[in-house]
Structure 1
């Protein structure tokens, strides 16, 4: 070989005199005369070849220029094996060699996928931080020319994904232009969605692994949404990712995979999430990590994510998400709408289904008309009537009934509201709940036309049932009120804003309603706060969704009282009326609300609270001092003392 031939021509590095001196020294030591002095070695003179003036990194590059592709591959394999050495010196030398070779010859290597797998196997053995960084940088360099191969290789060990694999993916997308290619490749793998032979809607779960790459791509996309290297790329690809992940949720439902890990899986991968939870988690994190928290909030506060867990309720879930985008309003409606047209031509029925569900809701957004004219939208829906899927045909028919194409329906729909409002006073709870639901549906179908002057009548009638003894009616009335607020946002009359202000305390206190169905109070409270443009809307959402305890209550109380001071006396009077509630939790929260108000607005509270109110408060706080929750006991004791002082001042 050439380099071996050249090495034979390199002059002898050790001078003859030094060699002879060594021989003499050997003879001297062997004679046993150790008193004699050793000869002084001559100075070593190296040849002035440029290669010997370079650092080790450059030497490797120079030497590697004379190697064949097969020899380069062997050299790289040897370097990767060195990463697993127990010698820190050898590990660092191996990473230096690896980096130098990949920088110089990475583009022409034909075994990038195998190299990526080998680095993955050795990475856990690398304990030196700099060596680990260098090994990961090798992946970044390889990705410049081999991103698709590396993506395919890494998918084999990305379901589930450990921290070591996550580091490899981050290194893969460390350069912006490469991260775009990585994401595009992952989306292509995600859309490889084979259905195992024999899979049917009611059939058993598939036993083969034909779908493993699609599921691994789904899991990877979920994780990479949290990687800083992919933040910008994910944001740029949001419309494409949204449609792809919605279709993926549908695909996972089609596979009928177990929703919980099986016994054999639990032994190998304890705590590993199911594909169904991963697919939904990827969709949720896409909204939350890209700044679309308002769309996320609409589904979270309604408890609507469960709609994505069954095939029967899946269309409702997609519709609610698209509706949230319209009502927020989402800045990506135009970009997503542009993606809908290709999806409607897809060969995959699930993609056409997702597209038509979103389009039906986008018809209520004026932004859609910037992408599609009214006539073009009509043509798209008419074409979908000939879709091979009966489900898509039905959805298209629903879209054709939209008020956008039939503006005269606005007057007819508004004409239905008075008889519906009369139906609120029926004795049958199921009937009243259905009538309230029908009014919500009418408000939605009216779209931008709105309920007009009748919005006030709807608000008053809905509020009248907030404290109804029947759980279902309480829940339905609050949901209806929230729907009305959303439908009238931006064009609400001042009389409706007054109704919203006066609904805040009842909705706040019903957050502690013992009936689980009255979760609608959360969403209605949130919608009202958006209409009133409260400060810190994201913090408010997080508090409503997940925070509990006295701190959360104090934040909600302070948000209400600092932004609605003109309604102070009304709020306090409403809270006092809830001290007579039969529900312990509501009564408790009302008492604490009044207590906080008294502490921070003492004079105004003293002017509003009567002597009989004070007696009722003393009695309530006395009972709360025996509460099971320590925080409530402490607050009750403190507030009881405060109101005793307030009563003493009056005397």
Structure 2
């Protein structure tokens, strides 16, 4: 494969290129796994030669089995981009690049749809894995840069996000992708501290626009929530939480919805705590879950101690809906007072948006306390 790749750089005539590419499809028809592994070693980002070699697998006869090809790529997309020795592995990124080329071929869209939920979730998890991951020495190709400009650094996470966008668009999710553009969701997804927000925005958009594949994604996510490392779980949970808005959630045993969210309140990762709060708030909208969620309110608030200010603001904005639903009883005052104690340390946060949000929320909680008739000494 490397020989063909190098040879293509010196061949410009279209027919001659077709002849040079013919061995790719011939070999893939009998030795697809070996050919795919070889193509995964093509330099990244793919140039026109590498891209054409991927498309050759299904555009020219004899073509390989598209189903098997996609399954091989999905397998690579489920790997971590780090080897056992701690070195960066290009395999998942290369698989995403290969998938992106296959998505440009209309004839394989039916096969792609078959495993669309698996591909989408695998790619979103790869986005999380690739945050901050650099491949030393990799730069964008000159054809991707303006004339006279220096080649830009190749940022793996942005490339994976591009593949996510491409997959969504090819599956007919144009409204969802536009929504994320408008809400800066893609940018959020590319950053460690806000990745979960970007994923949640995507899931929320898919629920809003009634994506046909959501049921398949929902049932696929349930076992995924317990697998993998922290990054894997955060991405899966961020998506799952937004799907709790679906009517189909009623069919899921409570241990997988309310039970799992309640367990998340004691998770050691603050992001998981905030996601669990979000999930419980969504579940509280259902009359059969409201009382159970409200009973967990003290645990929700307590879990926000020593949590980053941005996450506190995110959680408290969600909690307001649960507070509004509670009866105005004096026994609620302890929860409000604890909320004040959590908000107060963030008055000196260096981030203005966090600082102002916490001060604003603090004032609203104080008003609520006065409405409950709590004496000033309780504060």
Q: How far did residue 359 of structure 1 move? A: 1.5
Match of 2:300 in 1: none
For 2:73, the equivalent position in structure 1 comes to 186
Residue 296 of structure 1 deviates from its aligned partner by 1.2
CA distance in 1, matches of 2:4, 2:318: 61
Distance 1:376 1:439 in 2: 21
**Match of 2:51?**
166
Equivalent residue number for residue 349 of structure 2: none
Equivalences for 1:247-258 in 2 at 5 Å?
247-255=125-133
Q: Please name the residue that 1:144 is paired with.
A: 29
Unaligned runs of 5+ in 2: 295-312, 326-352, 354-379
Give the count of matched residue pairs: 296
Please report how far the alpha carbon of residue 183 of structure 1 lies from its aligned counterpart in structure 2 after TM superposition: 2.0
Gaps of 5+ in 1: 1-115, 199-207, 414-433, 447-471, 473-651
Q: In the alignment, is the contact (CA less than 8 A) between 2:123 and 2:164 conserved in 1?
A: yes
Change (3 A) 1:181 1:387: farther
Instruction: Determine the C-alpha separation between the residues in 2 that align with 1:289 and 1:440.
Output: 37
- 8 Å contact 1:173–1:182 — kept in the other structure? no
Paired residue for 2:222? 341
Q: CA deviation at 1:315?
A: 1.1
CA distance in structure 1 between the partners assigned to 2:13 and 2:134 by the alignment: 45
Aligned match of 1:234: 112
Alpha-carbon distance, 1:349 to partner:
2.2
Whether the 8 Å contact between 1:288 and 1:296 is mirrored in structure 2 is yes
Does the 8 A contact of 2:264 with 2:276 survive in 1? yes
Residues 155, 217 of structure 1: 8 Å contact kept: yes
Deviation at 1:377, TM superposition (A): 2.7
Q: What are the residue-to-residue correspondences of 1:597-608 with 2, within 5 Å?
A: none
Q: Distance in 1 between matches of 2:50 and 2:133?
A: 26
1:151 offset after TM fit, Å? 1.3
Structure-to-structure mapping, 1:553-592, within 5 angstroms: none
Structure 1 CA distance, aligned partners of 2:266 and 2:64?
41
> Structure 1 length normalisation: TM-score?
0.40
Give, in angstroms, the shift of residue 154 of structure 1: 1.1
Structure 2 match to 1:377: 257
2:175 paired residue number: 294
Tell me which residue corresponds to 1:359. 240
CA distance in structure 2 between the aligned counterparts of 1:136 and 1:441, rounded to whole angstroms? 61
Q: Does 1:329 align with 2:210?
A: yes
String of CA shifts for 1:350-387, please: whole Å, max 9, x gaps. 222122111111111113445x2445433444565686
Change (3 A) 1:375 1:347: closer
Alignment deviations for residues 123-144 of structure 1 (CA, whole Å, 9 cap, x no partner): 3445664454344343223212
Matched, 1:219 2:106: no
d(CA) in 2 for partners of 1:133 and 1:223? 17
Q: Is residue 1 of structure 2 the alignment partner of residue 120 of structure 1?
A: no
Among 378, 395, 399, the alignment partner of 2:279 is 399
Question: Of 179, 191, 195, which aligns to 1:310?
Answer: 191
Partner of 1:173: helix, strand, or coil?
Answer: helix
Partner in structure 2 of residue 541 of structure 1: none
CA contact (8 A) 1:344 1:352 kept: yes
Question: Residues of 1 paired with 2:264 and 2:64: CA distance?
Answer: 37
- 1:288-310 per-position Cα deviation (integer Å, ceiling 9, x unaligned): 22201121122122233221121
User: Paired residue for 1:245?
Assistant: 123
Whichever of the two has the greater Rg, that structure is 1
Residues of 1 paired with 2:218 and 2:64: CA distance?
A: 26
1:232 is paired with a residue of what secondary structure?
helix
Which whole-Å CA distance do the structure 2 matches of 1:150 and 1:119 have between them? 12
Contact kept, 8 Å, 1:333 with 1:367, in 2: the verdict is no
CA contact (8 A) 1:319 1:357 kept: yes
1:156 aligned to 30, 36, 41, which one? 41
> Per the alignment, in what secondary structure is the counterpart of residue 255 of structure 1?
coil
* Displacement of 1:252: 1.1
Structure-2 separation of matches of 1:230 and 1:272:
32
Alpha-carbon separation, structure 2, partners of 1:330 and 1:315 = 20
